[in-house]
Structure 1
Amino acid sequence: MHKILKYCKSKPIYIILAVLLQFFTLFFLVSYFSQKFFIVYYILIIFSLCVCMHIINRDSDSSSKLLWVLLIMSFPIFGGVVYLLLGNRKIPKALMIKDRQAYSDYKKYALQNIEILSDLHEDDYVLDKMTSMAWTNGYFPVYDNCLLTYFPSGEEQYKA
C-alpha cells in the first residue's frame, strides 16, 4: 500500500495528469467554440484541406508529406496553422550543394558488377529485388563470395 501511495505522488503521474487535463480542456474548448463559431470552424477546416493539397503537390520526400498530412488531418483546426509556422523550413543551399558533392564523390567509388546482379536474379527473387533497390536508390554495391559469420552475442564474437 505504501508503494502505491509513493507511486501516485511521483512526478511522472503529475505530468501525465497535467497533460491529460490540458488535452481534455483543449478538446472541450474546441468542441464548444466550434458550435458557437461554426463559420470560423469550417473556414479552418477548409484551410487545412487546402494546406494538405499544397503539401501533397509540393516537391519533397514522401515521408515528410505523409507526416504533415496525418498531423493536419488529425488536428484539422490547428494543423494548417502549425504547418504555416513550422512546415516550410528549407534546407540551406550551401548544405544541399555539399550533400550533392559528397553523393557524387561516393558514386564514383561505388562500383557494381552487373554479372553479380544477374546471377542473383536466377537464384532468389526477393534477394534480387532487395539488391536492385539498394543499388538504384543508394548506390550500395553487392559483392559476391563474401564470408559472413553471425554472432548472436558479443561474448561469442570476442572468442572468435
Structure 2
Amino acid sequence: MDRTEFPVGPLVDDLPDGYVEAGRDYHLALMKLGLIPELTLWVHDAAIDGWALMICTRLYDAVGGYGIMDLLFRAYDASATPRLINPFILRLESPNHPIIRDISATLSGRGMPTLVGITSSGEEVEQTADHSMAESRIGDLSFRHGWRYVVGRESTHPANPFKAFKVFKRSVEQRIAA
C-alpha cells in the first residue's frame, strides 16, 4: 500500500453552502424532465476561478449544446429546476470528450492506488479514488469524488438520442405551459 500524506485542507475551497444539496436536486430535476445525465459533477474551474455544475450527456453529441442549454434556461424560467443553480454556471459536455474520459477514469478508480490520507484533525484514514474526501485536478478543473451525482451508469435514454431529446423538450414545454 502506498503511503502518502495529503496536505491539511483542500486544494480548493469546499463547495459553497447548499451546493451539494442543490446539485443533487438539480440532477433529480433533470431526470424528471427526461434528461438523464451520464455524469453530474461539481468542478472548480481555475480558468474562471469559479464553480460549475458539469453535466455530461450523450444528447450533446446528437443535438449540440445550444439546444440543450436553451431548454435548461427555459426550465429554469419555469421553476422546473432549483433556483440556486443558475444555468450560467452549467457546463455541458459530451461523454466522448477527452476530459470526461479522464474524469470518469479518475472517479472510477481505474489504476488508482489505495492511499493513506491525513484528515484535517490529523487522523490517518485509508483513501481510495472514489472516497468522498479525495480530490483530483485535470487541466484547470478541480473536483472531489463526493461532488458527483452519477458516474459510470448506462444511460436509460431510448436508443435514439433524437427521440430522447424530443422527450426532454416536450417535458420542458409542458412545465412552461402549466
- TM-score range (shorter-chain normalised) is under 0.3
Higher RCO (C-alpha under 8 Å, 6+ residues apart):
2
* Larger radius of gyration between Structure 1 and Structure 2: 1
TM-score, length-normalised on structure 1?
A: 0.22
Which protein is richer in strand relative to its size?
2
TM-score, length-normalised on structure 2?
A: 0.21
Which protein is richer in helix relative to its size?
1
